[in-house]
Chains A and B, each alone.
Chain A
Amino acid sequence: MNFSGADRKRQLVTVGVGTVLMLVMAGVLIAGFRLATQMNANVAALQTASALQTYPNTLVAQLTSLRDRLETRAYSGQALADLRATVEKFDREMKQLGEFSHSPQFEQAQALWQQYSPVLDPVIDFTDQPYVDSDEEGSTLSPEGRTHYADVKRAQLFTQENSEPLQALLAGLSTQLQTEASTGANRLRVLLSAGVLAALVLAAAAAWFQLTRGRSERLAREAQEQTRDILRTVKEGFFLLDADYKIGSVWSDALTRLFGRSDFAGLAFEELLKDLVPPATLATAMKYIKLLWGERAHENLMKSINPLGQLEIHVETASGAREARYLQFDFHRVMGPKGVKHVLVSVGDITSSVLLAKELQESQENANQQVDMMLGVMHIDPVQLMSFLDSTETGLQLVNAILKEPARTDAEFRKKLDGLFRELHSIKGEASALNLMSVAHRTHALEDMVTELKKRPELSGNDFLPLVLKLDDLLAHLRSVRELATRLSNLRESAPTEARGGRSSGKGGTDELSRTLQSLAERLAKDHNKKFRLSVSGLADIPRAYVPTLKDVLIQMLRNSAVHGIEPAEVRRANTKSDVGEVRIEFRKSADGFELMFEDDGAGLLPEQLKAAAVRKQIVTPEEAAAMDTRAAMALIFRPGFSTQEQVSMDAGRGVGMDVVAKSVYAIGGKIGVTTNPGKFTRFKVSLPASEETSTAVA
């Protein structure tokens, strides 16, 4: 919000209008006053001029009266005094008039009046006795009286002569004064009208400005209110940082909730974070803020390196406890004309979503550790339990073996699902039967996942990741069940380890291996509706170091035999073979190490089929295939990629993961070979070097 510029402008306009209004009014008043004063003077002058018009005749009359009195020897003192007064008045008023009128009429009138002076002065200056009283003649003019009489007579004649012109001149003067007065009046009228008009215009302007100002103020106030409402209601903390990394004067109320304080104005950003985050984070955060001002990096880059995207802080709650919160800071530059002006910071509380994610994770982890198995385990016969665990682990090995088959296409992935479901379902059944609910639940969950996968339109390796995780979880669980069971049986002392088949005897778990293989064979026979017997020998001699690899190898081979090698009973019968197939596994010492033999009396391998498949998979060219002898053709099954494609169409093949098998044999320094007689048998021979472990054991 930034209204201050417009505000100032508006203020300036108002002050300007007021000043102009005052100046205009003052001008009008001063001019009016001057005009009025002048008019006042004009009116006075006009009165004087009008009065003066009568004086020439008055003078004539008074002189005539004086002459009459002198002629009749009457008392002339009063008449002379009247004349004197008139002359004085005439003089005075002419002088007054002269103060503001310099018109030609006045000049002429004055000039004429000045001609009166020499004529009238002797008359009015007369102060002697005009008469001499004698008895003989009665009253007669004294010598002075005679001169006086002559003066009066002359003056009377002069005034009579000049009365008309002087009067005319004075009349002209008063006409002129009258014109001047009316001009003045007109001027005053115009001035006043103009003044009133100007005042009206200015007042209207002022009123208009006031009105618009009111409106914009109202808008500003509304905007301010809205801003306030936003800041009060918004859930995120908002504030601006200035170039000194200090918080500005406006912030949203949420900030108080988020940080449990309210002294934000002018607070340094560093101060805000200081007690909440570890020093290293604080240092990174401050470096980051500094970079925001640098403008070296554009907004997207800055956003991508924001170190406060999910910040764990600890705040004190009302009850005084410390509580972890997760805040998400976002920074946006606010640009001004001279680069970055502010940085707008928004802070959101993402605690609930972070905690939810954590809870989910924890509950998953907890489920793993729950010892609900405890009760179940305690009630099961130890021997039965161990046999269940063995069988379950075998089943899961099988599950893993199914997973291990390479797959790239939807069809290849989909092919696994039935086998997985079958294995899981039977494990679940056994667990339920034993009332081992912790195992049953987990297996059930896995089974559900498989069912869910079946519904998916397109399958890929990603879909199987959760399955493998669950499988891992189940294996871990089985291990802890086994541990618990072992501890329980040790406690009971009623079930010595030998009773369970020498599980923990020192032979590297090879007895366990033969048991695993036996139970796997049973399982596979059942699953695939085949009949075969497994005989093993010498497995106890397998050096410990080879056990894990050979176990994998044998499981894979046994699976291949059960699925692809051993024919269904009716096929066997038709081929004059016994209904029940034979699978033999032998391990023995050889001249330079050991030898493992795996043989089934199944369908065998057909070199031409193998070659055709290899060509189809572009492992070899048709020319190369044609040049291969039987031995080379057999070796194809160990070539990488041979078993990774088109398995669905390879019903008769034996290529389930043999490259993988070969690889793991190579990994322990061994060699693998295959011989076959189509329709009769397939035999794998694995040669292994004498391991370090055995050489020391022999020594």
Chain B
Amino acid sequence: MIQESELKTFVEGTTNYFEVAAQQPASIGSPYLVTEGQPSVHEYTGVINITGKREGVVYFTAPKAMLTVLLMKMQESDFSHETMRDLVGEVANTISGNARKDFGRDFVISVPSVLTGEKPEIPAMPGLRSFVIPINWRSHSAKLVVALK
């Protein structure tokens, strides 16, 4: 069973990114479970696969509008598709780094991959419930999804 500390590590990795990169903290919304199938995603999704002590996926999925504002806050002027991909990749990278720091070698964490579109092929985790943690930042909302065995 997934531990609260583990969940918190992923959440902190995410909120921390907003706080540090955009100098504006993100808050987490009301968390919930997706008991069947996969949670819906936004346009840009950064995925890390986890093996080792735990197995599963963790992903950060955000709408384009949120990423645009985030880039603006980071004083970026390039809002291309590539830049958006870059950005969710960085967020996922940070989540993975944070997890490695906290869990050390117990977790084998993949290099993040970035998926786009409304129906990306996120590796299915049959029989696993997903924890969905909304990440609210300014008026926007992204999601952190944690599905671990």
Direct touch of chains A and B (CB < 8 A): yes
Interface string of A632-651 (1 = CB under 8 A from B): 00000000110010000000
**Of A464, A472, A548, A549, which one neighbours B30 at CB under 8 angstroms?**
A464
A365 and B129 contacting across the interface, CB-CB below 8 Å: no
B80 within 8 A of A: no
**Can you name the residue of chain B whose Cβ is closest to the Cβ of A641?**
B139
**Can you name the residue of chain B whose Cβ is closest to the Cβ of A412?**
B30
Q: Which residues of A have CB within 8 Å of B136?
A: 408, 461, 644
**Of A407, A469, A475, which one neighbours B4 at CB under 8 angstroms?**
A469
B97 within 8 A of A: no
Looking at the complex, which of A345-353, A494-502, A659-667 is the stretch in contact with chain B? Answer: A659-667
Given contacts A400-B33, A549-B37, contact A618 B139 (CB under 8 A): yes
Q: Which residues of A have CB within 8 Å of B27?
A: 408, 460-461
A400 and B35 contacting across the interface, CB-CB below 8 Å: yes
Interface centre among B34, B35, B118, B132 (most CB of A within 10 A): B35
A187 within 8 A of B: no
Given contacts A364-B1, A407-B30, A465-B4, contact A472 B36 (CB under 8 A): no
B134 within 8 A of A: yes
A640 and B129 contacting across the interface, CB-CB below 8 Å: no
B29 and A407 contacting across the interface, CB-CB below 8 Å: yes
B29 and A472 contacting across the interface, CB-CB below 8 Å: no
Q: Which residues of B have CB within 8 Å of A361?
A: 3
Q: Which residues of A have CB within 8 Å of B131?
A: 468-469, 472
A364 to chain B, nearest CB (A): 7
Alpha-carbon separation in the docked complex, A548 to B140 (Å): 26
B33 and A468 contacting across the interface, CB-CB below 8 Å: yes
- Kindly identify, within residues 1 to 45 of chain B, every residue whose CB is under 8 Å from any CB belonging to chain A: 1-4, 7-8, 11, 27-37, 40-41
Q: Which residues of B have CB within 8 Å of A406?
A: 29-30, 134, 141
A508 to chain B, nearest CB (A): 11
Interface string of A445-474 (1 = CB under 8 A from B): 000000000000000111011111101110
A465 and B7 contacting across the interface, CB-CB below 8 Å: yes
Q: Which residues of B have CB within 8 Å of A547?
A: 36
A667 and B41 contacting across the interface, CB-CB below 8 Å: yes
Alpha-carbon separation in the docked complex, A464 to B136 (Å): 15
**Can you name the residue of chain A whose Cβ is closest to the Cβ of B28?**
A461
Given contacts A666-B118, A667-B40, contact A404 B32 (CB under 8 A): yes
Interface centre among B4, B40, B119 (most CB of A within 10 A): B40
- Kindly identify, within residues 377 to 423 of chain A, every residue whose CB is under 8 Å from any CB belonging to chain B: 397, 400-401, 403-408, 412-413, 416
User: Interface of chain A, helix or strand or loop or mixed?
Assistant: helix
**Can you name the residue of chain B whose Cβ is closest to the Cβ of A365?**
B1
Q: Which residues of A have CB within 8 Å of B11?
A: 462, 465
A219 to chain B, nearest CB (A): 48
Alpha-carbon separation in the docked complex, A464 to B132 (Å): 12
Given contacts A361-B3, A472-B2, A641-B139, contact A408 B29 (CB under 8 A): yes
B99 within 8 A of A: no
B2 and A475 contacting across the interface, CB-CB below 8 Å: no
Alpha-carbon separation in the docked complex, A469 to B3 (Å): 8
Q: Which residues of B have CB within 8 Å of A416?
A: 30
A368 within 8 A of B: yes
Given contacts A469-B4, A549-B37, A640-B63, contact A403 B31 (CB under 8 A): yes
**Can you name the residue of chain A whose Cβ is closest to the Cβ of B136?**
A408
B129 and A472 contacting across the interface, CB-CB below 8 Å: yes
B91 within 8 A of A: no
A461 and B1 contacting across the interface, CB-CB below 8 Å: no
**Of A413, A465, A644, A660, which one neighbours B8 at CB under 8 angstroms?**
A465
Given contacts A469-B2, A663-B40, contact A475 B33 (CB under 8 A): yes
B37 and A640 contacting across the interface, CB-CB below 8 Å: no
Q: Which residues of B have CB within 8 Å of A618?
A: 139
A476 within 8 A of B: yes
A551 within 8 A of B: yes
A357 to chain B, nearest CB (A): 9
**Of A397, A461, A551, which one neighbours B29 at CB under 8 angstroms?**
A461
**Of B1, B31, B36, B132, which one neighbours A476 at CB under 8 angstroms?**
B1
Q: B-contacting residues of A (Cβ < 8 Å)?
A: 361, 364-365, 368, 397, 400-401, 403-408, 412-413, 416, 460-462, 464-469, 471-473, 475-476, 547-549, 551-552, 618, 640-641, 644, 660, 663-664, 666-667, 669
Could you jot down 12 A-B contacts, CB within 8 Å? A364-B3, A405-B30, A406-B29, A406-B141, A460-B27, A461-B28, A462-B11, A472-B33, A548-B36, A549-B37, A640-B141, A667-B40
Known: A469-B2, A666-B118. 8 other contacts (CB 8 A): A408-B29, A461-B31, A472-B129, A473-B1, A640-B63, A640-B141, A644-B136, A663-B40
5 A-B pairs with least C-beta separation: A461-B28, A548-B36, A548-B37, A403-B32, A667-B40
